[in-house]
Structure 1
Amino acid sequence: MKAALVFDSVNDLVFGKWDHVFIERMKTFSVQENPNDVTDNNTVSQLLAPIITSQRVMAAQFGNTYSSMQCKDKTTIVFDEWLDHVFVIISEDNVDDAHRELLDFKTFVQHICGQNVNLLHSTIYQDWLSVLLESRTKGDTIPGANGVIGESGATMAALNALKSASKDIKLPYQHSHLMLFVGDKLLALYSSRGSEDLSPPDLILLSIQCIAAQEYWKDVGNEDSDESDSQIVRLPWLSTENSAVVNLCAGPTGSPCAPHSIHLAEVAPRITFAVVVDMDLREVGVSAYMANQILSNLRRLLLQRNLELLPNTLDSLEASLKKTTDALRKNKANANLCARLTSRMLELRKSCTTTTPLTPETTATAMHTALEAVIEQLKPDIPSLKMEQPLKNLRTTLSPYVEFLCVKAKRYFSLGSYPFHIGIYFYLFVLWVFGTKT
């Protein structure tokens, strides 16, 4: 049994992905006379609303939140809250494994949606997130580690090909990264001068994007496959130019908040060419992320009537907003937006420190609305890249290594796949026993 859920600030189900076992178990708890009259989303929302509300109340009003629940039937429920949205994983795994999966789930949402979780209302983003969750365990390397292929001949040829491709692709931005993935393992990476280094979590997220694309290409490339098969998912970045806006890790928290465009192309089966372009909004993304986090904490303090921490929180919020407005001006954003943020901050501080007609809760909500306008700036237009000729050159350069790389793309074998693995284990055990005695 498995379910991954996202609830918004009013406990409406924004995203839900579950298996048949989960939804059938939910329907057994339903009080509807005819369960078929109620949609699955309504069933899940109604049955889990008390638990989500309890989690919110304990966190907001008492500052005593719980992060997991375990039921008598061995069902595990784990929670996490981010930007007024509650992320939930329900499974029969142990708490540690469920928390690990929840962290991946939340990171995927930040990766594709940035700070605008409401994008999950779109069916396109729901499909995208679903496929990433499915691709999470389809990689060949150890979970949580980015694999690297170290074969010198293929790596040098790929790196030289990427250097040539960077000259052929006309990029509208200065900073970019060109990569070749074999399966989920990185073969070569070429970054333009002055680009921020990609962190290991970035490479893991990009490798999962490549795995999802490879699975899609494998399905549509199969002549026997049915185009109407529900298992064939049309990924949004595999449209006309196989591109989308994603967020990579940045800032002191290392959370995905720096907008980049990603462009994918298939070099050969299980070999993917990826171009990641920095949209020059890193500073805006990081500062807006920090401001959003601080504002969320401030609203919680107001709800708890914890006035002692309010002055320091206001100072931190004002400093983050100052960085946000400076970054917006640097990117030549709308001057009215900067003035709006400054004005809302003055209103918020005044309502928290003096008696005014506006309550702190009202001015905090107005500040939240202003920050939402900043978040809209973090969804820029995707640049159009001409990748046809560079892709042809890559295929020509890598043609002597394709067979070798396809072998590298396959899963590593295990002793469990051989019928004589028990004998091998026994032989190794005997060697260990007698070796220690001598």
Structure 2
Amino acid sequence: MKATLIFDSINDLLFSKWDDMFIKRMKCFNEQVNEDLNDSHNISQLLSPIITSQRVMAAQFGNTYSSMQCKDKTTIVFDEWLDHVFIIISEDKVEDAHRELLDCKTFVQHICGQNINLLHSPIYKDWLSVLLESRGKGDSIPGASGVIGESGVTVTALNALKSAVKEIKCSPYQHYHLMLYVGDKLLALYSSKGSEDLTPPDLILLSIQCVAAQEYWKNVEEKNDDVQKTRLPWLSQENSAIVNVCAGTAASPCAPYSMHLAEVAPRITFVILLDMELREVGIAVHMSNQILSNLRRLLLQRNLEMVPNTLDTLEVSLKKTTDALRKNKANTNLCARLTSRMLELRKSCTTTTPLTPETTATAMHTALEAAIEQLKPDIPSIKILLPLKEIRGIIAPYMEFLQVKAMRYFSHGSGSEDSGSLTLHKYVEEFPGLIHFIYVDRTTGRFLAPDMADCVDMLSPDTVKRLVSCTFSLVHEGYGAATWRRGALHVCAVTWWERRGAGAAAARAPHPAAVRALPPPGDILGAFYRQVVELAFPNESQDVSMKELICVHVGLVPAPTAVQQARRLAHSIHELLDDQRAAADLL
């Protein structure tokens, strides 16, 4: 059973995605059993007391709660953003449901930016729905993106992207990124000179976009083998849309880019990401919107002591917003309107005026909505057929190999054609009893793992995902290392920090209670790991990376031996990744 729901500021259901089991469960609470519960209005009425309770406790008392657990094992998880309440109702563990809810909120920011009202459109509802469905269909583990690192094919793919640049006309925009994804694993990335680097969450979001497109194209081709080019129904006619990538100190999706998708071959996707030159505006508007939302909550709580400082912060942020708008040659009347609304808001909060602070705050919100409209520019048209043909021709010798890679979980390939790839056979003699391992760099959002084909008889992909979920729970409890048994398997999980480019500084171990108060680990934005590093290395977290290693042994291996092997394996992987000559797969 699962339902994902988004309620607006007046408790109307803005977005909903549920299964039949959820409807059956909701019928237990409905007096009129024969009534059709698939109507959003009926669901809103049944859940209205819970939503109202959550809002009242959060807004008027500041006593927020993030989840509820029922006796029938139903879990309800809450989150709030810009006066909208996000809810997931399921039978999953609280941490897993909370992680999925955080990803849902990230998806909304990714496709809608600050204008969450775009979800009123059926197209955006379908888009969010397919992203939620595709979230767990890839091969990557939560919070880490896939990368294929064989030297031969990656160099060829990069050359193909460089060659395709000559055929792409995107004037007047000069900054862009070209990518090739195999399944959800990044094969190659080419960025134009002066472009802002994409963050690990951006690559994860784009990989999920590619998985959604690949699944749709696969389903269409099964019905019609003659289809050459299929339009994705949630994108434009050219399979393009405006999306938002992460930017600013908050690292939230707020910088508008134009995304263009095209199918190179089954499960191989070409992505163009075009910078719309609105990054500074997006960051400033995002901060202003967040601060204004906090101010409106303070006014609702009558917490007048915090209002002056919040007003000062909002004024500084609005100054950055108007400066960024002027720099982008936006409407000067809009800048004057924002400045005027700020003066009215400050005056109503500090002196006696006919206008109440709530009224002027609402007027400011309306003015900011006009600024948010500037972050939804027209999608530039890009002729993609010629560069697509160029890419297909250059990577043709590797096409069969890449399609195999796209279909295999944790795929690294094996055999004479891929002798440089990482396989478990390289470690069997040195680490007796080891059947699988996962090495994750949480700072860069990449992970390394051997081919699952080597241990398919002993370990299924679903089992691996459950082990990763268990590791998340242990890390969230504040443990740096743990061992446990699961049936015939013995699992060892270790987490540590690394620092390069400077002398090693002793970490200040975070208090377990402080770690438990953080968001659950493994979400797309990686907020947990970023905040843990900041707690352990206050004011010195720039050069610190956080690593994880999960080792799976057969149950006959003693626990001390498994721990010792995990330590040795960590050193071996570190040497492998540092050796530039080693052609290892970075997933």
How much does 1:34 deviate?
3.2
Distance 2:459 2:294 in 1: 58
How much does 1:233 deviate?
10
Whether the aligned pair in 2 keeps the contact of 1:119 and 1:125 (CA below 8 Å) is yes
Distance 1:233-1:90 versus aligned 2 partners, 3 A rule: farther
Match of 1:76 in 2: 75
Match of 2:143 in 1: 144
Match of 1:305 in 2: 302
Distance 1:199-1:419 versus aligned 2 partners, 3 A rule: closer
TM-score normalised by L of structure 1: 0.93
How much does 1:167 deviate?
2.0
Match of 1:175 in 2: 175
The C-alpha deviation readout for 1:294-350, integer Å capped at 9, x for no partner, is 101111111111111111000000000000000000000000000000000000000
Distance 1:289 1:181 in 2: 30
Whether the aligned pair in 2 keeps the contact of 1:131 and 1:233 (CA below 8 Å) is no
**Is 2:224 the partner of 1:215?**
no
Distance 1:363 1:425 in 2: 62
How much does 1:31 deviate?
2.1
Match of 1:285 in 2: 282
Gaps of 5+ in 2: 410-451, 461-485, 491-552, 563-587
Whether the aligned pair in 1 keeps the contact of 2:231 and 2:238 (CA below 8 Å) is no
Match of 1:333 in 2: 330
SS at match of 1:222: helix
The C-alpha deviation readout for 1:112-156, integer Å capped at 9, x for no partner, is 111111111111111111100000001012222111100111101
Match of 2:194 in 1: 194
**Is 2:7 the partner of 1:2?**
no
Q: For 1:236, which of 219, 222, 234 is the aligned residue?
A: 234
Distance 1:200 1:435 in 2: 34
Distance 1:280-1:419 versus aligned 2 partners, 3 A rule: closer
Amino acid at match of 1:83: L
Distance 1:33-1:138 versus aligned 2 partners, 3 A rule: closer
Q: For 1:373, which of 370, 373, 382 is the aligned residue?
A: 370
Distance 1:414-1:158 versus aligned 2 partners, 3 A rule: closer
Match of 1:418 in 2: 457
Larger helix fraction of residues: 1
Q: For 1:322, which of 304, 319, 323 is the aligned residue?
A: 319
Whether the aligned pair in 1 keeps the contact of 2:232 and 2:239 (CA below 8 Å) is no
How much does 1:27 deviate?
1.8
Amino acid at match of 1:199: T
Distance 1:434 1:351 in 2: 67
The C-alpha deviation readout for 1:161-195, integer Å capped at 9, x for no partner, is 11111121011311100000000000000001111
Distance 1:430 1:209 in 2: 42
TM-score normalised by L of structure 2: 0.70
Distance 1:122-1:75 versus aligned 2 partners, 3 A rule: same
Amino acid at match of 1:316: T
SS at match of 1:54: helix
The C-alpha deviation readout for 1:33-70, integer Å capped at 9, x for no partner, is 6313x543122101111111111111111111111111
Distance 1:428 1:326 in 2: 61
Whether the aligned pair in 2 keeps the contact of 1:180 and 1:273 (CA below 8 Å) is yes
Structure 2 counterparts to residues 123-138 of structure 1, below 5 A: 123-138=122-137
Distance 2:266 2:31 in 1: 50
SS at match of 1:134: helix
Amino acid at match of 1:263: H
Whether the aligned pair in 2 keeps the contact of 1:26 and 1:43 (CA below 8 Å) is no
Whether the aligned pair in 1 keeps the contact of 2:27 and 2:33 (CA below 8 Å) is no
How much does 1:416 deviate?
7.0
SS at match of 2:114: coil
Gaps of 5+ in 1: none
Distance 1:406-1:305 versus aligned 2 partners, 3 A rule: same
Distance 1:420 1:334 in 2: 60
Structure 2 counterparts to residues 2-151 of structure 1, below 5 A: 2-32=2-32, 34-36=34-36, 39-151=38-150
Count of residue pairs the alignment pairs up? 430
Whether the aligned pair in 1 keeps the contact of 2:113 and 2:254 (CA below 8 Å) is yes
Q: For 1:385, which of 382, 385, 400 is the aligned residue?
A: 382
Distance 1:282-1:433 versus aligned 2 partners, 3 A rule: closer
Distance 1:433-1:312 versus aligned 2 partners, 3 A rule: closer
How much does 1:224 deviate?
6.0
Whether the aligned pair in 1 keeps the contact of 2:213 and 2:232 (CA below 8 Å) is no
Amino acid at match of 2:180: L
